[in-house]
Chain A
Amino acid sequence: MAAADHDHEDHDHGHGHGSELSPIEARVRALESLLVEKGYVEPAALDALIERYEHQVGPHNGARVVARAWVDPAYRALLLADATPAIAELGIGGRGGEHMVVVENTPDTHNLVVCTLCSCYPWPVLGLPPVWYKAPPYRARAVIDPRGVLAEFGVTLPDTTRITVWDSTAETRFMVLPMRPDGTETLDEAGLAALVTRDSMIGTGLPVSPEAAR
């Protein structure tokens, strides 16, 4: 490869130019190499873990749970009483969701989920949490100024709606069951699931209206 063709700008060739790696990239690469060499970590397991949580597990799971609850009152009742087995009925569950609690939004009560102490989050139904959920601003303010936080997400609730904030301090994990939007009577479960946003299941958003979804 001629030197003139060899553009080093902003990409990692992976062909031995160690100086191109940032310090943290080099540090992680060294650690991974070492842990694999020692036999503590198998590369196939790393690949499977990353694939699972980057591409397989995500909010589409929770959206199916919400849609089912919207159409089936018996399922809704089970979900609110004993969420883990209810969610498992849809083939969803596992690490980070062994002890689920689902809390319902009503005109009187809006629910907001946080982990002030770290980043606890219901992985099986929502995937891995977004950066904002794990960062100090949300963790600090959700419990003391939930309306201010919601306003930053573009959500304004009536003064008559009270807010309950659920701090995920143990292994119980929380998912919000948002209210079903108006004008959705003719939608099937898949159509309903498409209205359910990730943020609506954390409590920092509301489901999309059917008009907006079109």
Chain B
Amino acid sequence: MNGAQDLGGAHGFGPVEAEPDEPVFHAEWERRVFGLAMAMGFTGTWTLDGSRAVREALPPVEYLSSSYYEIWLKALEIQVAENGLCHPEEMRSGVSQAAPSPVKRVLAGDQVAPLFDGGFPSDRPPAGPARFGVGDRIVARNIHPAGHTRLPRYVRGRPGMIERVHGAFVFPDAAADGKAAPPQWLYTAAFTAEDLWGESADPGGRVTIAAFESYLEPRA
């Protein structure tokens, strides 16, 4: 979606402010939100793409004025309620007032290390041959999906070139809604800074994105 999260190239946000020796978490509540979001994600009620979709769909002013873990908290509350896992009144009181809804799985303490050491790969057997190869000239499509996409606005309609072919992966635009869709070939697509930013470009600069096949068209 063309939401507040699609920040590449935006002006007005000021200098990058790096805190020296920054702690991983700045408050106990941040720790808990991190853990809760990860554990609830494991239940299989929603996908990681779905979580990103809910975060980026926060109203723009709210998104931009919330801290990172505030965004996680707000999105988690929405996901828990929208999936019928808790009722909003229960979330206000912190006390359960109804039987739990069934979930696919619950993360046990002793599962964390083996599962997170193994990871959760997103690659899948491809549905067909790759359309593009290394060196192919492409253009990023000028699409503006209202739902979740990982094609940032700053590349749409811009000419680029395939630099790598990564294999086929779960397609996030569909997975965000839990919709079944064939895996898509994923590429590194490179763009010159000049093609993206014109006169504002860093000379000789390049920007790459990881682009799904349906984000791209060939060009002569």
Chain A residues engaging chain B, CB cutoff 8 angstroms = 12, 22, 24-25, 27-35, 37-50, 52-54, 93-99, 101, 116-119, 124, 127-128, 130-132, 134-141, 143-147, 149, 152-153, 159, 162-172, 204
Contact = CB atoms under 8 A, between A and B. Distances in A.
A30 B96 CA distance: 10
Given A53-B34, A116-B6, A169-B151, A31 B122 contact: no
Contact of A132 (B16, B172, B204, B209): B16
B35 A50 contact: yes
Contacts of A134: 68
Contacts of B40: 35, 40-41
Nearest to B67: A131
Nearest to A138: B16
Contacts, number: 266
Contacts of A46: 32, 35-36, 39
Contact of B207 (A29, A98, A143): A143
Given A95-B120, A99-B122, A101-B164, 18 more contacts: A12-B28, A28-B73, A34-B86, A35-B39, A41-B106, A42-B106, A45-B106, A45-B109, A52-B116, A117-B152, A149-B16, A153-B18, A162-B203, A162-B206, A164-B190, A165-B207, A167-B210, A172-B210
| Most chain A CB neighbours (cut-off 10 Å) among B94, B96, B110, B113 | B94
A130 to B, nearest CB: 5
**Chain A to chain B: the 4 pairs with minimum beta-carbon distance, closest first:** A44-B109, A30-B94, A170-B210, A116-B8
Contacts of B210: 167-172
B212 interface: yes
A132 B19 contact: yes
| Most chain A CB neighbours (cut-off 10 Å) among B22, B55, B85, B150 | B150
A41 B92 CA distance: 18
A30 B93 contact: yes
Interface in B116-130: 116-123
B108 interface: yes
Contacts of A153: 16, 18
Given A25-B28, A147-B202, A131 B22 contact: yes
27 contacts: A25-B27, A31-B36, A32-B36, A35-B80, A39-B106, A40-B100, A41-B107, A45-B107, A45-B111, A46-B36, A98-B119, A99-B121, A116-B152, A117-B6, A117-B150, A118-B52, A127-B24, A137-B16, A144-B196, A144-B200, A147-B202, A163-B204, A167-B8, A167-B209, A170-B166, A170-B210, A172-B166
